[in-house]
Amino acid sequence: MKSVQHPKPVLAILGRRNLELGPFVIDEAPQEQGPYAHWRVRADEDGTVWLLFDKKDSSANTLSEEVLSELNAILEQLEQNPPRGVVIRSAKPGGFIAGADIAQFRGVADVAQIEAQLARGHAVLDRLDRLRAVTVAVIHGYCLGGGLEVALACDYRIAIDDASFGFPEVLLGLHPGLGGTVRLPRLIKPTQAMAMMLTGHSERARRARALGLVDAVTEERHVRAAVRAAVRGELKKAKRGVAGALLNSAPARRFLASRMTSEAAKRAPRAHYPAPYALIDLWVENGGDADAMQKAEIASFAKLLVGDTAQNLVRVFFLRENLKKLADSQWDGRRVHVIGAGTMGGDIAAWCAWHGFVVTLGDTSQKAIGGAIKRAAELYGKIGRHDHRRVRDALDRLIPDLKGNGVASADLIIEAVPENLDLKRRIFAGIEPKMKPGAILASNTSSIPLEQLRENLPRPERLVGVHFFNPVSRMQLVEIVSHDQAAPEVLAEARAFLGRVDRLPAPVKSAPGFLVNRALTPYLLEALVMLDAGMKKETIDKAAVDFGMPMGPIELADEVGLDICLHVAEMLRGSLDRAMPEAPQWLKDKVAKGELGKKTGKGLYDWKDGHAVKSREETAPPPDAIDRLILPLLDACMTCLREGIVADEQVLDGAMIFATGFAPFRGGPMHYARTRGFADVRDTLKRFAEQYGPRFQPDPGWDAPQ
């Protein structure tokens, strides 16, 4: 245990004050801010000093140079008169510390400057680590990235039941940069530490306790008792054990690193995502020497941060934040009625019930409703495996409704039946008179313009498109489709609804295919043209994956469903005033035979256990294969911008990344086009138009001044 001095000098400086410290009410009464903008310093009668982190003008605590500079000044003062104990705690209700202030990462290019900033941050946490007092981090809610690195620099970590811990830096193309690569493998087994850092996955409080990451898990009302036990040395610390030391030996590191590298390559190719491999190299080369590891961590982090991958992934982070802000409006609805218990309707209903809505699920088939309830139970079993009460409550809120009685009490009605205009109109005509005056009528149509759906509706201003993507539980983006008669408040309420079900709204105007399908269809059709010309489907998919797509267009078509792809392609071909290839006859024949892709077990690929069965023979794609696939997608994006279907490049890039998985490390389709150069995109399209046909004729938007 660290040696401590008598606490009285600190109490004399700070003043005595007993507090009921919790995550929601920190002070007994409003007080002056004190000498620090982001920290409040309080002392207990027993000599424990509490450092309460409350970042000014922010809803969440994040680390910045100013925050760390203030913490350094506090620690310097405490070094002069060490108290018995020091507790670091958040005053924000949401959590401990969410990590670094990501805004600091945007546009940085000076490696030396970044290294200097990191060195200053390391010095602060080293000072906390060396402080001659028992240091305790009390953690509720999230404890991520730099926040976890602050906690690791303390002697003890006490978690509230709801706490979660993680290093998500890899999702930004980085690895921990404030000592996490040094301290975490010393605290828990190196293999577990590396897994946390390589995947970005978070661990809940009790799992973190089992790993040895935290020393105690308690309820809020027992926090002070746990802190007193820690300060007195009565709280038993988690220990890594002998196995951890053995796994950190040089031979073990080399052996384990090869396996880690193989696993990383399955998820993130080195050429596109260098951070996992940089982290593995750090550990292999320096894992036995903490000082060398710390210096190498700083240099590696700085090099990664100025790279294209990290800068583009930081851009993606803010694209996501921009979409989240679009859901900031208020909507107090509590009841949702979903019409159609097929894959989309049933899964939308299940997702809404999981997020607290009372959901009635209507369909003409009792069997379909039963199947949807079964799928919901399976989904809840996966995402709520540690929260049986929430699973039970969600199933209670998901109500079969064969007669459609839920329409009358619903605040939001979502139609999710097959893409048939007449069918949707008949449904609207039947339910619209039963709706509450303030209810929203939404269609999950993937391609039909709302101007056609609204015909004969007495209240067309209440109609909006709410287009989810499949699978609902995994696809974060939902298109909010407007039309010229939609009420602005209805659109705002629809966006707010998506915020309540943890989805990202992308506002788009009604047009054939809207944004995502409009852009994705030329990409998929070109893949079919290449397949029809004799190129192997595995080769076509490899070209897209080499570019950075999460899967190739052939596999994606099977995932979406060949029937849906064919319908959207034929609708767009008949609606758009531009050349588009006709879907091959063999594709129409497959759809007619019911070979629809993954959902039927056979499509362009055969499917087994949820995976496409592919030939193991790798064939290198032709030199122009990537551009033949990607440039039609970029061109459609430019058309959507020029026609005003989507407001700006930020919404467009965010929508395409979060709905289609467009290579995130490239920052979005339009960002990629700008990086490549609009003129190059245009000229390549013109060359393809001469070589392959008029479907490649570039949109005039590429010629506009930028």
Ordered DSSP codes for 346-394: HHHHHHHHHTT-EEEEE-S-HHHHHHHHHHHHHHHHHHTTT-HHHHHHH
Q: What are the pLDDT digits (tens) for 386-434?
A: 789 999 999 999 999 999 999 999 999 999 999 899 999 999 999 999 9
Residues pairing with 465 in the sheet: 443, 481
516-585+618-703: what fold? N-(1-d-carboxylethyl)-l-norvaline Dehydrogenase; domain 2 (1.10.1040)
- Quote the CA–CA distance of 229 and 232 in Å, as a whole number: 5
Arithmetic mean of pLDDT over the chain: 92
- Quote the CA–CA distance of 140 and 147 in Å, as a whole number: 12
Question: Among candidates 25, 55, 22, which has minimal Cα distance to 40?
Answer: 55
CB 190 within 8 A of CB 241: no
- Quote the CA–CA distance of 517 and 167 in Å, as a whole number: 34
Q: What is the value of pTM for the model shown?
A: 0.91
In Å, how far are 359, 437, 521, 686 from 650, measured between CA atoms?
A: 33, 35, 21, 26
List, in order, residues 6 or more apart from 676 with CB less than 8 Å away. none
Whether pLDDT at 680 is above 50? yes
User: Please, which pLDDT band fits residue 240 given cuts at 50, 70 and 90?
Assistant: low
The pLDDT of residue 574 is 83
Whether pLDDT at 662 is above 50? yes
Whether pLDDT at 1 is above 60? no
Q: Considering the domain 334-502 in this protein, what is its CATH number?
A: 3.40.50.720
Whether pLDDT at 243 is above 80? no
CB 209 within 8 A of CB 236: no
- What one-character-per-residue DSSP string does 197-229 give? HHH---EEHHHHHHHTS-SEEE-GGGHHHHHHH
Whether pLDDT at 542 is above 90? yes
The pLDDT of residue 573 is 86
User: Please, which pLDDT band fits residue 33 given cuts at 50, 70 and 90?
Assistant: low
Mean pLDDT over 698-702 rounds to 96
Ranges in the chain annotated CATH 3.40.50.720: 334-502
Question: Among candidates 28, 234, 40, 224, which has minimal Cα distance to 138?
Answer: 224
Question: Among candidates 226, 211, 207, which has minimal Cα distance to 162?
Answer: 207
CA angle 525, 531, 533 (to 5 degrees): 110
Percent of the chain surpassing pLDDT 90: 86
Cα 32 to the chain's mean position, in Å?
A: 38
Stretch among 155-169, 173-187, 365-379, 578-592 having the lowest mean pLDDT: 578-592
- Sheet of 216-218: strands edge to edge? 39-43, 48-53, 85-90, 134-139, 156-160, 216-218
User: Please, which pLDDT band fits residue 237 given cuts at 50, 70 and 90?
Assistant: confident
- Quote the CA–CA distance of 458 and 350 in Å, as a whole number: 30
Mean pLDDT over 255-270 rounds to 93
The pLDDT of residue 447 is 84
CB 575 within 8 A of CB 687: no
Whether pLDDT at 505 is above 90? yes
Residues pairing with 412 in the sheet: 336, 440
The architecture that CATH gives domain 8-309 is Alpha-Beta Complex (3.90)
Whether pLDDT at 635 is above 70? yes
**Tokens 């900033």, residue?**
117
- Quote the CA–CA distance of 671 and 676 in Å, as a whole number: 9
Mean pLDDT over 71-94 rounds to 96
Ranges in the chain annotated CATH 1.10.1040.50: 516-585+618-703
Q: What are the pLDDT digits (tens) for 38-56?
A: 999 999 888 899 999 999 9
User: Please, which pLDDT band fits residue 16 given cuts at 50, 70 and 90?
Assistant: very low
Q: Residue 134: is it exposed, middle or buried by C-beta count within 10 angstroms (0-12/13-18/19+)? A: buried
Question: Among candidates 197, 194, 208, 183, which has minimal Cα distance to 129?
Answer: 183
Strands 85-90 and 39-43, sheet pairing: unpaired
Whether pLDDT at 575 is above 90? no
Q: What are the pLDDT digits (tens) for 433-470?
A: 999 999 999 999 988 999 999 998 999 999 999 999 98
The pLDDT of residue 387 is 83
Whether pLDDT at 530 is above 90? yes
Ranges in the chain annotated CATH 3.90.226.10: 8-309
- DSSP summary character for residue 618: -
Q: What are the pLDDT digits (tens) for 182-194?
A: 999 999 999 999 9
CB 149 within 8 A of CB 253: no
For residue 471, cis peptide bond before it (omega within 30 degrees of 0): yes
* Secondary structure E strands in 373-460: 398-400, 412-415, 440-443
Question: Among candidates 405, 424, 446, 430, which has minimal Cα distance to 566?
Answer: 446
Mean pLDDT over 656-676 rounds to 97
- Token duo for residue 156: 């003890």
In Å, how far are 346, 376, 495, 516, 695 from 473, measured between CA atoms?
A: 11, 10, 18, 18, 35
User: Please, which pLDDT band fits residue 177 given cuts at 50, 70 and 90?
Assistant: very high
Whether pLDDT at 515 is above 90? yes
Mean pLDDT over 201-222 rounds to 95
- DSSP summary character for residue 248: T
Strands 358-362 and 335-339, sheet pairing: parallel
User: Please, which pLDDT band fits residue 19 given cuts at 50, 70 and 90?
Assistant: very low
Percent of the chain surpassing pLDDT 70: 94
In Å, how far are 2, 98, 153, 168, 475 from 148, measured between CA atoms?
A: 21, 9, 9, 10, 28
Q: What are the pLDDT digits (tens) for 212-225?
A: 999 999 999 999 99
**Tokens 């030939």, residue?**
615
